[in-house]
Amino acid sequence: MKKLGVSFIFLAGACLAQQWEFGGLAGGSFLNDVNVTGPSGSAKAGFQPGVVLGAYLGQRMGAHFDGQVRYEFMQSNLQLSSGGSTANFGGQAHAIHYDVIWHTKSEGSVQFFAAVGGGMKIFQGTGTEAAYQPLSQFGYFTKTHVVKPMASVGGGLTFRLSQHVFLRTEVRDFITPFPTQLITPAPNTKYGSLLNDLVPMVGVEYRN
């Protein structure tokens, strides 16, 4: 029993000695359009810019590397456009991923970092489906959800505000296949395949 108590104290001390960080972020989502081609001509399909809110929990794994589990909520409406006409549909997405962070040493007040990782992005159509939709010759908006694999790359700067608190600025690119389950192509219509979501964010981080 005495040995068990000593082991527990040692394990608890080791956990407390780990260096953790967590933070919250806010920013904007800017996605590219993909080309749409078919018998009716050409169009663009994509998402409107929207608001992003995120949070993360990370563990510092040495002088230059961290690991972070992250979540971002993104409000981005679906959009089709052609020849000056536009059709919109409510939409949002949830990104869940793990990133490896490389950063410069933290002795100074400013620290640069680069990030790479992966996870998944859950796209959701939240609008009201209708029997008639503008530009339906190119595609149909659907009130559904779909999960796509996602790559995450980016970088930024952190600025020390106090011993434990930092201001964090970053830009991420969340890369996924285009979710054709949300904007379903019309018959004999082809959509581009790759979606880039550029997300600049600013937040506050706490380190123990």
- Domain count for the chain: 1
Could you tell me the pLDDT band of residue 12, with boundaries at 50, 70 and 90?
very low
Residue 14's pLDDT is: 40
Confidence (pLDDT) at 9: 36
Q: Taking the model in full, what pTM does it have?
A: 0.86
Q: How far apart are CA 172 and CA 31, in angstroms?
A: 12
pLDDT at 11: 34
Report the pLDDT value the prediction gives residue 5, as an integer from 0 to 100.
Answer: 42
The whole domain housing 196 covers 19-207
Percentages of the chain per state (helix, strand, coil), in multiples of 5: 10, 65, 25
Domain assignment present for residue 12? The answer is no
4 lies in some domain: no
Confidence of residue 192 (pLDDT cuts 50, 70, 90): very high
| CA atoms of 190 and 202, how far apart (whole Å) | 37
Band (pLDDT 50/70/90 cuts) for residue 1 is very low
Task: Give the pair of three-digit tokens for residue 136.
Answer: 């339906």
Q: How many secondary structure helices (H) and strands (E) does the chain include? A: 1, 15
Question: Is 204 within 8 Å of 56 (Cβ atoms)?
Answer: no
88-123 pLDDT, tens per residue? 999 999 999 999 999 998 667 899 999 999 999 999
Residue 175: CATH number of its domain: 2.40.160.20
* Beta carbons of 159 and 193 less than 8 angstroms apart: no
Across the range 177-193, mean pLDDT stands at: 94
41-47 β-sheet, strand order: 85-89, 78-82, 41-47, 34-38, 190-191
Q: How much is the mean pLDDT over the chain?
A: 90
Tell me if 180 is assigned to some domain.
Answer: yes
User: Across-strand partners of 66?
Assistant: 60, 101
pLDDT band (50, 70, 90) for residue 129: confident
Is residue 124 a part of any domain in this protein? yes
Task: Give domain status of residue 106, yes or no.
Answer: yes
3 inside domain: no
CB half-sphere exposure, 167, CA atoms < 13 A: 6
Look at residue 107 in the predicted model and tell me its pLDDT: 67
Residue 7 within a domain: no
Mean of pLDDT values over 42-61: 95
The residues that bridge with 45 in the sheet, in sequence order, are: 34, 80
Using the predicted structure, report yes or no on whether residue 6 has a pLDDT greater than 60.
no
Which percentage of the chain shows pLDDT scores above 90? 81
Q: Is residue 45 part of a domain?
A: yes
Considering only residues 12 and 168, tell me which one the structure prediction assigns the higher pLDDT: 168
- Does the structure show a pLDDT above 80 at 151? yes
pLDDT at 132: 86
